[in-house]
Structure 1
Amino acid sequence: MKRTIVAMAISLAAASAAHAQKFCIYDPVGAQGSAYAMAKDYALAAKGWGVAIELKAYTDERVAAEDFKAGQCDGVGLTGLRGRQFNHYVGSIDSIGSVPSYKHLRTVIQVLAAPQSEPAMKSGNYEVVGIFPLGAAYVFVRDKSINSIEKAAGKKIAVLDFDKSQARMVQQLGAQPVASDITNFVAKFNNGQVDIVVAPGIAYKPFEMYKGLSNGGAVYNFPLAQLTGNLIIRTDKFPAGFGQKSRAYILTQLDNAERTIKQAEADIDKKFWLNLTPADQEKYTVMMTEARVQMTKEGFYDKKMMGLLKKVRCKFDAANAECATNVE
């Protein structure tokens, strides 16, 4: 009798595993990281929607994306920059200078989580079922004397090789782009192969960025973009309505995400933060706007998303000069 019960239990467990949807989760720290921990909470919530999720941690984002494309994963968790290939509209949120602060990003995420936005979350058989904040992208320099746009000219800057918009931006600065990947871009900064890198605060501790800052480096206290993470699924692998339930759940996690981001930024030693002059901030803003408009024309960014992001900016600052123009 006991053998029969045990056999039935094993059979049921095997059947459950066979029907579980596999999510490939990118976390630079692996299964011990904060992204993977949030994925475990997500999998627990999904049980309430009648979906069993099996998680697999990846420390190489490129491999996670390739496995997802190859059908080895039913869902994937990765950065919005890498996720752009699966949904150009959503992937354009991380565009240069388009989301000035976390409050702007929260509004964007709320709009996209609404049922009315569901069609835009789908692209072919892919569906974005969650957008979450990763924090502002800051400029890290090995030498704090590089404290202006002009002084960045001729310097080596690490850029992600799969995001061509970064290389374009660096070239406009008159600097030299150095093709890199998430697995090595900070290492190049730490060992001196590049002079400048752009990264969020959450990368500071895991990637030991204090090593690259240790000999007189600095972090510009001026966000270039608000970075996001995406949860993306193959729609045909999940029950109808899963995407909307998932997006609604992610909304409930925004406060937790914001606390994590703020703590990560607070972990950066105060001596490294560098405040730019108002004049330089204005130069950066103008340069980023010009670059964003040009790259939208060239197809790097989605025009419809640029329109939405402008509406959000003008909601918070209606007096801004751009709100009276039709440039975006």
Structure 2
Amino acid sequence: MLPTRLLNIALTLSGFLFAHNAFAQVKGPEIPPGLIGNVSRQLMKEMKPLDKPLHIKICIFDILGKAGPVFSIAQDIALEARKWNVFAELIPYTNETVATESFRTGQCEAVGITTLRARMFNTFMGSFDAVGAVPSYAHVKTALQVLMGNDALYDLSIQGKYQVVGMAPLGAAYVMVNDRSIDSIEKAAGKKVAVMDWDKSQAKMIQQLGAQAVPSDITNFAQKFNNGVVDIVAAPAVAFAPLELYRGLGTKGGVYKMPLLNVTGSAIINRTRLEKEVPDLDDRLKKMRKFGLGFIDQALEVVKTIEKQVPARYWMNVTPADQEKYNVMMQQARIQLTQEGVYDKRMMSLLKKVRCHHTPSAAECSTTAESDFPLKQ
């Protein structure tokens, strides 16, 4: 089942490339020559190639289509996959919505998309990117180690005929404003904020602030910010230079040095056909999940390196008092969205345990909020 495993490896080793997919025209360091082959050889120590040929279609979202870096990497992976008796047909898409719909309607057996959008296929795994739930890269690492390294949680990666087989960090999403005077929750009232038109959790957050949600998508949110159509956006640092977000910041804008959420990418498969042709599919995927954990530090280092490229003059510090205020606000939003079924209760419980593992003295750790949901129901 190499396409699935290689999608997982690609996500883990090169989150910056899938961030290119998610945030349009993002460019980062290239995968070193020969790395895919080296990883493949390491993997062969864990499991053997398939006994018979497997033909599979994979939806590839690249804003530049066949000419883009993600599709190029996918081609290298597909070539290596033949050594595993797997023959992949790559289908390029320049729009994440269309790629997602093509996967949903069965035009391909695998797809790589943002975890926010993956929520439509798996509520539990798709809730990983909940607002304020994973506040630092240390938390990201711990959460992924728990999620991918524990076989007891494996079944939660499956929902119906779909399965999230790999996740990778793409970077923290920071709030960017076109005027530094918007330096508090209260001052966001009345301002226009770009939100993804398919994610109602974002719109609800904005409405709670008293701000105006402006429906947008991955292909145009930056343009709206740069042209002054909206006053506020949230995006990872990996999108800063390629999308020219400094134009929206101008001379008066800034970037809050506080993650709103940590963005990840997900590799998803349709198990229906694959489990028929790969009898030991689950055993292979469990091994792959643990194998991929060995590359989390590399992926996070790439994200941190790109983040350091944002000029220091744009960063805005958040006072401890405001930080606590934001934490409470985000917790209240998570609780409400969980009650409404947007976020999965079990994932919220898991992520709270991760936060309290890192900061046991935090106020939330002395309450039962978000922690009374069992992982198995």
TM-score normalised by the chain length of structure 1: 0.88
Q: Note closer, same or farther for the CA distance 1:273–1:36 as it changes in structure 2 (3 Å cut).
A: farther
Farther off after superposition, 74-83 or 97-106: 97-106
Deviation at 1:40, TM superposition (A): 5.3
User: Following superposition of structure 1 onto structure 2, how do residues 1-328 of structure 1 map, counting pairs within 5 Å?
Assistant: 19-30=54-65, 35-36=70-71, 39=74, 43=78, 50-114=85-149, 115-238=151-274, 239=278, 240-241=281-282, 242-328=284-370
Q: 1:73-95 CA deviation, whole Å, 9 max, x = no partner?
A: 11000000110000000000110
Deviation of residue 226 (structure 1)?
0.9
Q: State the distance in 2 between where 1:220 and 1:187 align.
A: 20
Structure 1's 34 and 134: CA in aligned 2 closer, same or farther, altered over 3 A? farther
Alpha-carbon distance in 2 for matches of 1:259, 1:41:
23
Secondary structure of 2:145's partner? helix
CA distance in 2, matches of 1:167, 1:309: 22
Deviations 1:79-127 (A, max 9, x none): 0011000000000011011111111111221222232222111111101
Q: Distance in 2 between matches of 1:187 and 1:195?
A: 12
Matched AA of 1:23: I
Partner of residue 11, structure 1: none
Contact 1:131 1:247 in 2 (8 A): no
Per the TM alignment, residue 183 of structure 1 is displaced from its structure 2 partner at its CA by 1.0
Distance 2:198 2:293 in 1: 28
- The structural deviation recorded for 1:251 is 2.2
Task: Please tell me whether the aligned partners of residues 175 and 255 of structure 2 are also in contact (alpha carbons under 8 angstroms).
Answer: yes
Name segments (4+ residues, structure 1) moved above 4 Å: 29-50
Matched position secondary structure for 2:343: coil
* One-letter code aligned to 1:118: Y
Q: Does the C-alpha gap of structure 1 residues 19 and 40 become closer, same or farther in structure 2, counting only changes over 3 Å?
A: same
For 1:272, the aligned partner's letter is Y
Say which is worse superposed, 49-58 or 170-179, in terms of deviation.
49-58
Question: Tell me, what secondary structure is at the counterpart of 1:221?
Answer: strand
Task: Quote how far apart the aligned CAs of 1:207 are.
Answer: 1.6
Offset at residue 205 of structure 1 (A): 2.3
Task: Calculate the TM-score normalised by the size of structure 2.
Answer: 0.77
Over the aligned positions, Cα root-mean-square deviation in angstroms equals 2.1
Q: Which one is further off, 47-56 or 87-96?
A: 47-56
- Helix, strand or coil: the match of 2:259? coil
Structure 2: runs of 5+ lacking an equivalent:
1-52, 371-377
C-alpha distance in 1, partners of 2:60/2:143? 23
SS of alignment partner, residue 258 of structure 2 = coil
Q: Partner letter of residue 237 of structure 1? A: R
For 1:131 and 1:151, the matched residues in 2 are separated by: 35
Contact 2:54 2:85 (8 Å CA) reproduced: no
SS at match of 1:318: coil
Tell me whether 131-140 or 254-263 shows the greater mean CA deviation.
Answer: 254-263
Contact map agreement 1:138 1:220 (CA 8 A) in 2: yes
User: Once the 2 structures are TM-superposed, how far is the Cα of residue 37 of structure 1 from its aligned partner?
Assistant: 5.9
Q: Could you give the per-residue CA deviations for residues 229-274 of structure 1, whole angstroms, max 9, x where no partner exists?
A: 0000011332223433443343233233212211221121111111
Cα distance between partner residues in 2 of 1:113 and 1:44: 27
Identical counterparts, % of pairs: 52
1:271 partner letter:
R
Looking at structure 1, the residues matched to 322 and 307 of structure 2 have their Cα atoms a distance apart, in angstroms, of 22
Distance 1:226 1:254, change over 3 A: same
Give the 3-state SS of the residue equivalent to 2:233 in structure 1.
strand
Going from structure 1 to structure 2, the CA distance change for 1:193 and 1:121 (only over 3 Å counts) comes to same
Alignment partners' CA distance in 2, 1:49 and 1:80:
28
Deviation at 1:220, TM superposition (A): 0.5
Count of matched residue pairs: 311
Compare CA radii of gyration and give the structure with the larger one: 1
Q: Counterpart of 1:72 in structure 2: which amino acid?
A: Q
Taking the aligned partners of 1:83 and 1:26, their CA distance within structure 2 comes to 13
SS class of match (1:56): strand
What displacement does 1:61 show? 0.7
Shift of 1:304: 0.6
C-alpha separation in 2, matches of 1:262 and 1:40: 27
**1:229 counterpart letter in structure 2:** G
